[in-house]
Amino acid sequence: MGFSTETRTRSLDTMPFGSSLQLDMEVWSGTECDMGYQVGTMWYGFKNTTSNRKPEPDEGLNIPPLPNMNEPEISANLFNGAVEFEEMELISGPKQLIRKPQHLKSYKGSWSETDHVLFKGMNVGDVVEFRIPGFGPPSEKLTLHATKSKDFGILSFSVNGKPAGSEVDLYAGIPMPSGAIELGFCEPIDESYILRVEVVGKNPKSTGALFGLDCVILK
């Protein structure tokens, strides 16, 4: 366990350019791992030649953290009974709302079916509501799974008009699963649950008020 460094150098002296040059980088590994890239570019040019890429010395110290090898493995049964947000009925939301399914297989952690739904265009105070089908007349325990990221907000929840669980800060420096968010035991109305999600604030470090929702597990 640790870091490895690979350096690739490519000379393009035989490739003249007049006004711009774009290079694509190859992904180093096809396996699941965290990778940090640093790029150095040098070219010959007249004294008034400019670049739209400025030095970023702080990024040079931004070393990816080592994984925690002591974390318990995620049970394969963690998402049994899950209702996916991709399939959930959206009842209401702000006019500017954009729902975007995203595959998360390239990130560390476990999501139901390795994806979630990103909710863009959200601001503090905005609300979205979903209808979740119930499995029977008795009360059921609802557990929500979401995603944390650098531009996500703080959410509060209610089910069928009653507060459910605590506020959850979904900010994190890199995308990761939120873990189980317990909404408690709820009584279905007309064999369904109305889940209300409100953006109530954002972490000072967060750059936005977006959020990503994975699934709700009913037991």
1 belongs to a structural domain: no
Task: Let me know the angle formed at the C-alpha of 90 by 111 and 149, rounded to the nearest 5 degrees.
Answer: 35
Total domains in the fold of the chain = 1
6 belongs to a structural domain: no
160 exposure class (CB count in 10 Å sphere: 0-12, 13-18, 19+) = middle
| pLDDT score at 19 | 76
| pLDDT score at 74 | 55
63 belongs to a structural domain: no
Reading the block at residue 30, the tokens are 């096809």
Give every CB contact of residue 199 below 8 A, 6+ residues apart in sequence. Answer: 122, 123, 124, 125, 126, 127, 153, 154, 155, 209, 211
For residues 29 and 26, give the distance between their C-alpha atoms in angstroms, rounded to a whole number: 9
59 belongs to a structural domain: no
12 belongs to a structural domain: no
Pairing, β 192-201 against β 127-133: antiparallel
pLDDT in tens, the chain (219 residues): 566 777 777 777 777 777 777 777 776 665 566 666 677 777 777 778 777 777 777 766 766 666 666 655 555 567 888 999 999 999 999 999 999 999 888 788 889 988 999 999 999 999 999 999 987 678 899 999 999 999 999 999 999 999 998 999 999 998 999 999 999 999 999 889 999 999 999 999 999 999 999 999 998
pTM: 0.68
78 belongs to a structural domain: no
37 belongs to a structural domain: no
194 belongs to a structural domain: yes
Residue 182 belongs to domain with CATH number: 2.60.120.260
Q: Which range marks the domain in which residue 177 is found? A: 83-218
